[in-house]
Structure 1
Amino acid sequence: PRLDIEAGASRGTYLAARKVNEDDSYFIAPTLSWEIDFWGKFRRANEAALAELMASESSLRTVQISLISEVVSTYFLLLDFQQRLEISRQTRDSRNESLDMIQKRFSKGIIPEIDLNQAQIQKEIAESSIPVFERLISKTENTLSILLGRLPGEIQEGTDLHHQAMPPDIPVGLPSFLLERRPDIAEAEYLLHAQTAKIGVAEALRFPSISLTGIAGYASTELDKLTSEGDAWSVSGGLFAPIIDFDKNKLRVVIREKEAEQALYRYQNIILFAFK
């Protein structure tokens, strides 16, 4: 049902007894209209709207899970770079100590110059990796800050990589109905439901529609007597049926069917991907 209010004023002339008369009219009335859902058009439209709403909620959960996964992956990558940086620094310190020993032995003539040159090269290689990991750490910290909704900056260190609690491996033989908990599958299923419901809406548009309209208000030829002497009401019914529409409604059904077919393929692909 739909409730509206109408108000208006008009002036016209008409010829009666060879005399031109003026006629003023004023009206104000609420209008209640109701189209009978004989073919299920509104019911199917409500189904489609509700399914799209549920799909939006599932999509939100999908985005949240994806964000959490990306935050965790980026954080573990940061811990990995920090560990590699620590190893590089320890390697550099070890190379420096080794180079000091080799320089002393070279100054005493115990070893040839080639050994000294090789030790210097190894030290420089160890030192060159340190700024590389420092840049990677800074870049990863900025990425993680953005994912967390913060300004780019340093991330406070927590437990190192080796002491992080890892989730258990997923055992084999789990029942397939657990896939229903995946929000991406739920989203695809709701979208498929919405598209099939829209087929029903398109089908209903090909058939006649029946509507009822009721008006109750005031009407008068004098504005100052509109609400005191101008009670008026009417009840009417209407039938609207498409006759020639150049297959517009038929093509609308075909389009909805193709959209539902695409939604079905997407639903199947997501399920197949979930089984991998």
Structure 2
Amino acid sequence: METSSTNNSSIRVLAILAMALALVYSCVPARDVREANTDLPARYSGLEGDTLNAAAVSWKEYFRDPRLQELIDSALVRNQELNIMLRQVEMAQNEIRARKGEYLPFVNLQAGAEVEKAARYTRNGALEATTDIREGEEFPEPLTNYSVGAFASWELDVWKKLRNSKKAAVFEYLASAEGRKFMVTRLVSEIADTYYELMALDNQLDIIEKNLEIQENALRIVKLQKQAARVTELAVRRFEAEVLKNQSHKFEISQQITEAENRLNFLVGRTPRQVSRNSETFIEKAIDTPAAGIPSQLLLYRPDIRRAEFELEAAKLDVRAARANFFPSIGLRAGVGLEAFKPRFLTSTPESVLYSVVGDAIAPLINRNAIKAEYFNASARQEQAVFEYEKAILNAYIEVANQLSNQRNLQNSYALKEGQVAALNESIEIAGRLFQSARADYWEVLLTQRDALEARMELVETKKDQLLARVALYRALGGGWN
């Protein structure tokens, strides 16, 4: 009879627990979040679907200039912003370790000593006064207590809340690692951009200096012709004004060169100094069209897309962890040690031995607003992560499409500007001869020199734009970090 009664009691307890769990589970909210749309066109407009992709090429193969390679190498070691990002990656890795430790048992060693004097007319005081430890030996007054032991606690991760939190930390770490790659890509491209800008400024400065020689020679001729009464003082002043204007422009470009050098030095993480470069071959640099591959490869090579993807996976796991808060948490606590009111009694076993084992289950029942709010916030963050992922994919595709179009247009523009410069260079010589033989007005000479200078400067600018577009396409494809 007694066994049957015990079994019935156990069944009733299990039934009550099952009903409580069913009640809790039925009250758990659920919110559906759509999957991210990762569809992309099969190929870029105007290109065949070739899988060759410049993003797979390392930056040392893509940028062959040894001076530029040296700058990038130094920046990858010394750049302060990149080193700050590396510390963030380390912190994300440490977060994994912390989350992993949460679902393992915690074991602590504890030692303590205390003293207590109980009032005589209290329950404890009366018991101590009337109780002997041993025959003829009373409780000491005041009462001291010494203890030493090991105590453990463990939350059973039945609903995988802690494990999902740990997996989310792993994805956050992976996202931060991709963020570092994205920063490397931007750093490499920014150094290349500034390096080419610096070389373009050197060429523009050289053009102005050579143009100043031509204008100063023309000014001397005009002064001689004025003495011979072939031109007026107005012509002399106009030529002088043009010379002074270009001399002023020379100082402006010199300042831009200084700022570009210092910007490079900042990116490299060093104090200002002259940047080694070979600007003489700038205008002859051959511009190739990097292989763009197919759009779906952006999901593989673009670090910002991969970072958004990992952040989305982390957000999904955060939702699961937040939902697990609605279910009961089951914990175990245990301890074993020694305790006595005198140190010499600590070794008196089994009298001084203490131990305990406690198991509990706690489930939220009433006023779960905070848990609901956290769950809905986690769901909203997941939706945000979906949109961020889709935005990164769309932005990457548009960046590549823009740079492919930019390269084609710059190539056509450069070819036309080359013809313009060649024609204007010949016009300078023709205008000079006609002016000396009094068959052309000085205005024609001035305008021809001015147009030729502007055309040369624009040619250098277009060459720079071509090089920057090549860098931008490499960055848009996801190259530079490998």
TM-score with structure 1 setting the length: 0.90
Q: CA deviation at 1:76?
A: 1.0
After the TM superposition, which of the residue ranges 49-58 and 122-131 deviates more from structure 2? Answer: 122-131
Q: CA deviation at 1:210?
A: 0.8
How far apart in 2 are the matches of 1:43 and 1:114?
86
Indicate how the Cα distance of structure 1 residues 245 and 7 shifts in structure 2: closer, same or farther if over 3 A, else same: farther
After the TM superposition, which of the residue ranges 233-242 and 107-116 deviates more from structure 2? Answer: 107-116
Aligned partner of 2:271 among 129, 136, 151: 151
Q: CA deviation at 1:72?
A: 1.0
Aligned partner of 2:160 among 40, 48, 68: 40
Indicate how the Cα distance of structure 1 residues 107 and 28 shifts in structure 2: closer, same or farther if over 3 A, else same: same
Deviations 1:159-190 (A, max 9, x none): 4422446453344x615034322111111111
Deviations 1:99-121 (A, max 9, x none): 11222222223334443333223
Match of 1:19 in 2: 130
Match of 1:101 in 2: 221
Aligned partner of 1:4 among 100, 104, 108: 108
Q: List runs of 5+ in structure 2 lacking aligned partners.
A: 1-104, 119-123, 132-137, 399-482
Larger strand proportion, structure 1 or 2? Answer: 1
Larger helix proportion, structure 1 or 2? Answer: 2
How far apart in 2 are the matches of 1:165 and 1:135?
28
How far apart in 1 are the matches of 2:279 and 2:347?
80
Q: Does 1:134 align with 2:245?
A: no
Given that residues 212 and 236 in structure 1 are in contact (C-alpha distance below 8 angstroms), is that contact kept between their aligned partners in structure 2? yes
Q: CA deviation at 1:14?
A: 4.8
TM-score with structure 2 setting the length: 0.53
Q: Which amino acid aligns with 2:335?
A: I
How far apart in 1 are the matches of 2:353 and 2:384?
56
- Match of 2:327, SS state, is coil
Given that residues 45 and 198 in structure 1 are in contact (C-alpha distance below 8 angstroms), is that contact kept between their aligned partners in structure 2? yes
Match of 1:162 in 2: 283
Q: CA deviation at 1:202?
A: 1.0
Match of 2:199 in 1: 79
Q: Percent identity?
A: 27
Match of 1:198 in 2: 318
Q: CA deviation at 1:219?
A: 2.4
- Match of 2:191, SS state, is helix
Match of 1:31 in 2: 151
Match of 1:270 in 2: 392
- Pairwise CA RMSD of aligned residues? 2.3
How far apart in 2 are the matches of 1:209 and 1:150?
54
1:110-121 to structure 2, matched below 5 A, reads 110-121=230-241
Indicate how the Cα distance of structure 1 residues 243 and 6 shifts in structure 2: closer, same or farther if over 3 A, else same: farther
After the TM superposition, which of the residue ranges 23-32 and 207-216 deviates more from structure 2? Answer: 23-32
How far apart in 2 are the matches of 1:29 and 1:164?
76
Q: CA deviation at 1:245?
A: 3.0
Match of 1:241 in 2: 363
After the TM superposition, which of the residue ranges 244-253 and 161-170 deviates more from structure 2? Answer: 161-170
Indicate how the Cα distance of structure 1 residues 78 and 122 shifts in structure 2: closer, same or farther if over 3 A, else same: same
- Match of 1:162, SS state, is coil
- Match of 2:146, SS state, is strand
Q: List runs of 5+ in structure 1 lacking aligned partners.
A: none
How far apart in 1 are the matches of 2:260 and 2:296?
37
Indicate how the Cα distance of structure 1 residues 88 and 46 shifts in structure 2: closer, same or farther if over 3 A, else same: same
After the TM superposition, which of the residue ranges 22-31 and 148-157 deviates more from structure 2? Answer: 22-31
